[in-house]
Amino acid sequence: MTGMCDEIRPRAGLLPLTIYVAAPRGFCAGVDRAIQIVELALAKYGAPVYVRHEIVHNRHVVEALKAKGAIFVEELDEIPDTQAPVIFSAHGVPKSVPEAAEARHLFYLDATCPLVSKVHIEAERHHEDGREVLLIGHAGHPEVLGTMGQLPEGSVHLIETIDDALAFTPKNPDALAYTTQTTLSVDDTRAIAEVLKERFPRMVGPRKDDICYATTNRQEAVKRIAPLCDRLIVVGSPNSSNSLRLVEVAERAGCPRAMLVQCAAEIDWANFIGIKSLGITAGASAPEVLVEGIIEAFKARFAAKVQSVVTAEEDIAFKLPRQLRDGPAL
């Protein structure tokens, strides 16, 4: 986007600075798949391609896809009758959305992250088994709306805090299950789940933690570098849940101040006067080019030494929708 990440003029005088760059960081497999779905749909079917909600929560990504011919809408009723593909975002959607698309004979592609789809399936199975379903998550987040929308209204109870967990009154304490949003703080979620388990010992939880591997790995990487840093930057968008959690994790892990920054042009340099060490990471929907731009901005102002701190290796990839893997265009 023009002017969004313009280079900033360096200041005179270069003081030493160690930059610790967390790894893993940035795009996860679900985000990478979702962006590929939009790009491949544009390549196969041509512009326009309609996308319901931001495909991922990153302004840079959204603007780049707009430039290629993607049209972003919040609801299906903003889309005209069309043969063009309609893509659902990586966060997932309520069941009512594909049902509405089918009623209008829209051709849609579902870019929901497979790990979010796993949570949807868990919630449905618990409901079918006669359990009340608790969802640990943040009200209003698209992923939460999508998960709650898999079941009849009133079947899922949102738990945002420990106070919510303490206040919840079930219909039957022996017929409860919980699941979670995939992009939460690992530590906060564990604390809430422990309260629920203590109150309702027979409550059923996920066989494996619902918080996705990428969220977990990025939080662990931040915990490693945070105590070493005078300041820590999380590259990400204000509406990105996993990016906001990284800011919280960094400060809890010992960094005096962490902040969310979308790109180099947003840096308030007054916050970095006198620092000797800086941490940098990126949320799961932030492209690496934004990280590189921020590193270069600091190199222009400091005698910077960059160290990569690797805490995990990631090699996960998810299959693309069948329509984009084979077969002719519509």
Positions marked catalytic: 143
**At CB < 8 A and 24+ separation, what contacts does 288-292 make?**
288/26, 288/27, 289/60, 290/5, 290/60, 290/235, 290/262, 290/263, 290/264, 291/21, 291/25, 291/26, 291/235
Rounded to an integer, what distance in angstroms lies between the CA atom of residue 142 and that of residue 121? Answer: 17
Please choose, from the candidates 288, 285, 309, the residue with its C-alpha nearest in 3D space to the C-alpha of residue 35: 285
Q: Is 55 exposed, middle or buried (0-12, 13-18, 19+ CB in 10 A)?
A: buried
φ/ψ of residue 91, rounded to 5 = -80, -15
> C-alpha dihedral over 127, 152, 119, 174, to 10 degrees?
-30
Rounded distance between C-alpha atoms, residue 299 and residue 303, angstroms: 6
| Other Cβ atoms within 10 Å of 77 Cβ, number | 9
**Of the candidates 218, 221, 225, 228, which has an alpha carbon nearest to the alpha carbon of residue 311?**
221
Q: How far apart are CA 227 and CA 252, in angstroms?
A: 9
Cα 223 from chain centre: 18
179, two tokens: 């699941």
